[in-house]
Amino acid sequence: MKQFENIFRTLFIALVGLFVTNTASAQDEEKHSMDSIEIGLLTCAPHEEIYSLYGHTAIRIHDLRNNADWVFNYGVFNFKTPHFALRFVFGLTDYELGIAPTSPFLQYYADWGSEVTEQVLNLTAEEKLRITEALNINYRPENRLYRYNFLYDNCSTRPRDIIEHNLEGEITYNPRTDYSPSYRELIRDHTSRHPWATFGNDLLLGLKADHKTTMREQEFLPENLRYDLDHATVTRNGRQEPLVKERRQLVPPGVQIIEDDFPLSPTHCAILLLTISLAIFAYEYIKKKTLRLFDSILMLLTGLAGLVLFIMIFSEHPATSINLQILILNPLSLFFIWPVIKGRRTIWFTLNMLLIMGFFVGSFWQDYAEGMKIVALCLLLRYWRHYNDK
Do 153 and 233 belong to one domain?
yes
Domain assignment of residue 126, yes or no: yes
List the domain range (segments joined by +) for residue 360.
266-387
Do 168 and 272 belong to one domain?
no
Q: What is the pLDDT of residue 105?
A: 96
Do 316 and 366 belong to one domain?
yes
Contact 300, 329 (CB under 8 A): no
Q: What is the pLDDT of residue 196?
A: 92
Q: How confident is the model at residue 177 (pLDDT cuts 50, 70, 90)?
A: confident
The DSSP symbol for 151 reads: T
118: β partners: 42, 248
Domain assignment of residue 209, yes or no: no
Domain assignment of residue 171, yes or no: yes
Alpha helices in 233-320 (DSSP H): 266-287, 292-312
Q: What is the pLDDT of residue 32?
A: 57
Do 147 and 288 belong to one domain?
no
CB atoms within 10 A of CB 294: 15
Which is more confidently placed, 256 or 15? 256
230-236: long-range contacts (C-beta < 8 A, 24 or more apart)?
A: 230/119, 231/173, 231/174, 232/171, 232/172, 232/173, 232/174, 233/171, 233/172, 233/174, 234/122, 234/167, 234/169, 234/170, 234/171, 234/172, 235/169, 235/170, 235/172, 236/124, 236/168, 236/169, 236/170
Percent of the chain with pLDDT over 70: 88
Contact 245, 128 (CB under 8 A): no
Domain assignment of residue 277, yes or no: yes
The domain that holds 156 is classified in CATH as 3.90.1720
Q: What is the pLDDT of residue 13?
A: 44
Domain assignment of residue 188, yes or no: no
Domain endpoint, select from 227, 251, 275: 251
Q: What is the pLDDT of residue 119?
A: 98
Domain endpoint, select from 228, 251, 274: 251
Mean pLDDT of all residues in the chain? Answer: 87
Do 344 and 377 belong to one domain?
yes
SS3 254: coil
pLDDT digits (tens, 9 = 90+) for 231-266: 999 999 889 999 999 999 999 998 887 777 788 999
Rounded to an integer, what distance in angstroms lies between the CA atom of residue 143 and that of residue 90? Answer: 22
Q: How confident is the model at residue 6 (pLDDT cuts 50, 70, 90)?
A: very low
Q: What is the pLDDT of residue 15?
A: 44
Do 291 and 372 belong to one domain?
yes
Domain assignment of residue 181, yes or no: no
Domain endpoint, select from 226, 251, 276: 251
pLDDT digits (tens, 9 = 90+) for 122-175: 999 999 999 999 999 999 999 999 988 889 999 999 999 999 999 998 999 998
> Per-residue pLDDT for 390 more than 70?
no
Please spell the DSSP secondary structure of 308-344, one letter per residue: HHHHHTTSS-TTSSS-GGGGTS-GGGGGGHHHHHTT-
Which is more confidently placed, 2 or 286? 286
Do 242 and 287 belong to one domain?
no
**Residue 311's Cα: distance from chain center in Å?**
19
Do 236 and 339 belong to one domain?
no
Percent of the chain with pLDDT over 90: 64
Q: What is the pLDDT of residue 385?
A: 78
Of 13-27, 157-171, 222-236, which range is least confident?
Answer: 13-27
| Residues whose CB is less than 8 angstroms from the CB of residue 320 and which lie 6 or more positions away in sequence, other chains included | 204, 205, 206, 312, 313
Do 308 and 168 belong to one domain?
no
Mean pLDDT for the stretch of residues 303-330: 91
Do 303 and 378 belong to one domain?
yes
Do 49 and 159 belong to one domain?
yes
Of 5-9, 126-130, 291-295, which range is least confident?
Answer: 5-9
Domain assignment of residue 3, yes or no: no
Q: What is the pLDDT of residue 360?
A: 96
Do 224 and 280 belong to one domain?
no
Domain assignment of residue 192, yes or no: no
Rounded to an integer, what distance in angstroms lies between the CA atom of residue 319 and that of residue 94? Answer: 18
pLDDT digits (tens, 9 = 90+) for 340-356: 888 777 788 888 889 99
Rounded to an integer, what distance in angstroms lies between the CA atom of residue 56 and that of residue 73? Answer: 9
Domain count, the chain: 2
